[in-house]
Amino acid sequence: MSLLDEQVSVPRRTMTLFFLIDTSGSMEGSKIGAVNDAVANVLPMLDEISAENPDAEIKVAALEFSSGVHWLYSEPKLASDFVWQDVKAGGLTSLGAACAELSSKLSRSGYMQSASGSFAPAIILLSDGGPTDDFDSGLNKLKANNWFKAAIKIAIAIGDDADKDVLKQFAGNSEAVFTVHNIDALKQIIRVVAVTSSQIGSKSSTAGDTTKQEQVIEEVKDAVENIKGAEAATTVDSSSYDDDWD
């Protein structure tokens, strides 16, 4: 019986879920409070998805950006080990620097070190404004990164002041940007996006032509219909014939 007793878990890949959180001054008050509450509450759910999943374990990393950028932990952590320290709002919106910082960690020498390999990460960007630094050079670095290219990318626009065009550029298309107009919707969308991207991102893919990001967008869209004050992109993505023609 010894061989059966000695069994160890199958090796699992790692799927890292990144939260990129805007902690600029405009987030102060109920917005940052809602983000803190929602992320802290979603961590146990991610732990549960991870614990029952033979394909991959889920790790979490969080980067806050305001006048500077700051990782909450210096490495991705299992959701069960991730103690959420409330982030505080104040300062500018260094989204460009956040992109550059994320890109530097999306590498095998950075955060993607799992011995049994990884699935592409899922990246959730939350912002209520627009970048105050050099966004383009940061984004360009990120866009050249193969981990980023393969990642599930979803952006959450908090209120109408969020620069949706910037969020669209980050997430790759306008359908991956979801907008919320109240605190309750913000909390709900964080949960839905984090859970859905973790579920889909941490499983072997299905046959067929839809990408994991497209699958996440479809599921989140369905959920958004039932969240008051949350909306999916309603306009047709016209970037192919509107942009880059000048």
Partner 1 sequence: MAELKKGDKIRLTSGGFVTIEKELGRGGQGIVYLVDLNGEKKALKWYINAPDDKFYKNLEHNILSGAPSVAFLWPEYLTTKQNGSYGYVMKLRPQNYFEFGNFLLAKKSFRSYSAMLAAAMKICNGFMMLHRCGLSYQDLNDGNFFIDPDTGDVLICDNDNVMPQGEKSGIMGKARYMAPEIVAGGIPDKYSDRFSLAVILFMLFYANHPFEGAKVVACPCMTETYEKKFYGSEAVFIYDPTDKSNLPVRGIHQNVIRRWPAFPEKLRKTFEQEFSQEKLKNPNTRMIESLWEKLIAGIRDSLVRCPHCGEETFIENTHSCMDCGKHVDVSKRLKMGTRSVMLTKGTKVYVDNDNIPDAEIVVHPNDPSKILLKNLSKDNWTAETPSGKIKVVEPGGLMPVNPGIKIAFSNAYKGEITQENNN
Query: Which of positions 158-197 make contact with partner 1 (CB under 8 A)?
Result: none
Residue 44 contacts partner 1 per CB under 8 A: no
The first and second tokens of residue 209, run together, are 């032509």
Residue 8 contacts partner 1 per CB under 8 A: yes
Pick one of 136, 165, 222, 237: the residue that binds partner 1 (CB under 8 A). Answer: 222
Burial class (CB in 10 A: 0-12, 13-18, 19+), 117: exposed
Rounded to the nearest 10 degrees, how much is the dihedral formed by the CA atoms of 137, 142, 144, 149? -150
Which residues sit opposite 62 in a β-bridge? 19
Nearest to 35 by CA among 107, 154, 125, 151: 125
Least distance in Å: CB of 111 to partner 1? 12
Least distance in Å: CB of 8 to partner 1? 5
Residue 236 contacts partner 1 per CB under 8 A: no
DSSP state of 28: T
Query: Which of positions 12-31 make contact with partner 1 (CB under 8 A)?
Result: 13
Least distance in Å: CB of 221 to partner 1? 10
> x-or-dash pattern for partner 1, window 62-101, by CB under 8 A?
----------------------------------------
- Angle, vertex CA 184, rays to CA 178 and CA 186, nearest 5: 30
Residue 112 contacts partner 1 per CB under 8 A: yes
What gap in Å lies between CA 198 and CA 114, rounded to an integer? 17
> x-or-dash pattern for partner 1, window 198-217, by CB under 8 A?
-xx--xxxxxx--xx-----
- CA distance to 163, 211, 241, 246, per residue, from 137 (Å): 17, 27, 24, 20
| β-pairing verdict for 230-231 and 13-22 | unpaired
Q: Closer to partner 1 by CB, 113 or 137: give it.
A: 113
Which residues contact partner 1 by CB under 8 A? Answer: 1-11, 13, 52-55, 108, 112, 115-120, 146-147, 150, 199-200, 203-208, 211-212, 222-223, 225-226
